Amino acid sequence: MSFFKSLFGGADKSAQNATIAQNKEGRDFVRQQLAQTRGDIFGNFPLAQDARREGYQSAIDLFGQSAPARINPLIQGNMNAQTSLLAGLPQIRNAILGGHVNMNYTNPQQVSYDTSWMNQTLSDPRRLQQGGQQQPNIAQLLAGLR
């Protein structure tokens, strides 16, 4: 074997061994980073679930607060229309019998409505981490994104 080795040149395996060692170190590093990433993801997953749940609850709360405020003007308008129709019946009778006709029942009637439910504040998902009950405004949220 030494004759062939001297004739063709021996193979120096140090570069190959270094490459194998470097590849093993790279795989070990990737495994370590993967484990750390999984830990980070699974550690923050409950926070994400809580933020999602809170967002859905806020939407449900807003819908619950806005439904009566949206329906109330419709009810008031319907009642005003019925009142106007009923107030017109005696005037029709007066007109047929030649009496005095009072058209005041045709005056516009105001419908009151409440817009306080529109003033909503976004919650900060970071407060779930801190355990506080702060309610930041939009400017604070946008400043946190920069």
> What confidence tens digit (pLDDT) does each residue in 48-96 have?
788 888 888 888 888 887 788 788 888 888 998 888 888 888 888 888 9
Domain boundaries, position 86: 16-99
Would you say residue 63 lies in a domain? yes
Q: Are 105 and 84 in contact (CB under 8 A)?
A: yes
Residue 112 in domain: no
Domain count across the chain: 1
pLDDT tens, position by position, 13-60: 778 888 889 999 999 998 888 888 877 777 777 887 888 888 888 888
Asked, for residue 69, whether it belongs to a domain, the answer is yes
pTM: 0.41
114, 72 contact by CB (below 8 A): yes
- 125/135 Cα distance (integer angstroms): 10
In a domain, 31, yes or no: yes
Residue 142, in any domain of the structure:
no
What DSSP designation does 105 have?
G
- Cβ 107 vs Cβ 71: under 8 Å: no
Is residue 119 in a domain?
no
For residue 126, tell me if it sits in a domain.
no
